[in-house]
Amino acid sequence: MAFASILRKSASSFAPLAFRALRSQRNYHSAIFTALNKSGFPASKASLSPFPQTHRYSTKSDESLLHVIEGEIQCAEESDDHNQVEAIPSGFPFEVEDKPGYQTITLRREYQGEEITVEVSMPDLVTGEEDDDDDSEKANQSSIPLVVNIAKGDGPSLEFGCTAYPDEIVIDGLSVKSPESSEDQIAYEGPDFQDLDENLQKAFHKYLEIRGIKPSTTNFLHEYMINKDSREYLMWLQNLKKFVKA
């Protein structure tokens, strides 16, 4: 399954607009001070304190920010991605745990007495605007990070750090996790995976493939996480709106 490309306007674009709105506001304190001086009215320091005007500045700034956030929400709602929920394909070997408000999902399954847990993070999207001079083919491909943990009872577990590209999974690191490890000590995690014997590297790739960590699985996850990212972004904007409007 081919990867989908996705473009989304950054929410950070509202910041310059909000600052411009702040700069364009009239200096009320200065205007009052000038008017009082011309009328000859004795100005009291207490009555001319700038602090009472803070609420008016804040209100106008908040209204400007709220207007931009609402525009971003409208754009996000017009996108189809936030409404899409990828149907789990037939034969998918994992149970999917997806909690709204989080940037990861968790996959779980049992395999011949093993407990397999996979944490899937948001995709690193490539939209075609990256540097064409980059010689690395993978640098111009979208990917998703995976952390695969394989446990047998209460004993040690194997933990793989992986990057899933279109039709290929790269193992970035491998370590043996002991439940008795102290947080105050740094456990030896072995050599860099790429420094291992080539046959050993291939054997570990096969080891993961048998347990369901294969391109047909991760390609589906990439599409799933793209849609989750759109849903989470819309929810984030709506939470921002509630806070500013309160």
Q: Is residue 44 part of a domain?
A: no
Q: Which pLDDT band, with edges at 50, 70 and 90, does 166 fall under? A: confident
**Owning domain of residue 218:** 95-229
Residue 232's nearest CA partner among 65, 81, 7, 13 is 81
**Segment 191-197 mean pLDDT:** 92
CB 201 within 8 A of CB 193: yes
Residue with the larger pLDDT of the pair 125 and 9:
125
pLDDT of residue 131: 53
Number of domains making up the chain: 1
Q: Which pLDDT band, with edges at 50, 70 and 90, does 117 fall under? A: very high
Q: Is residue 174 part of a domain?
A: yes
Q: Is residue 81 part of a domain?
A: no
pLDDT > 90: what percent of the chain? 48
Q: Which of 1-5, 162-166, 239-243 has the lowest mean pLDDT?
A: 1-5
pTM of the complete model: 0.69
pLDDT at 5 over 80: no
Q: Which of 7-21, 155-169, 200-214 has the lowest mean pLDDT?
A: 7-21
Q: Is residue 35 part of a domain?
A: no
CATH of the domain at 215: 3.10.280.10
Q: What is the pLDDT of residues 25-84, one digit of tens each?
A: 434 344 433 443 444 444 444 444 455 555 555 688 888 999 999 999 999 888 766 566
Q: Is residue 66 part of a domain?
A: no
Q: Is residue 112 part of a domain?
A: yes
Q: Is residue 6 part of a domain?
A: no
In 26-53, which ranges are continuous DSSP H helix? Answer: 28-39
Q: Is residue 183 part of a domain?
A: yes
Identity at 3, one-letter amino acid code: F
**Segment 9-13 mean pLDDT:** 38
The residue with tokens 């007495």 is: 113
pLDDT at 118 over 60: yes
**Segment 122-143 mean pLDDT:** 71
β strands within the chain, DSSP E: 95-97, 104-111, 114-121, 144-151, 157-165, 168-177
Other Cβ atoms within 10 Å of 143 Cβ, number: 22
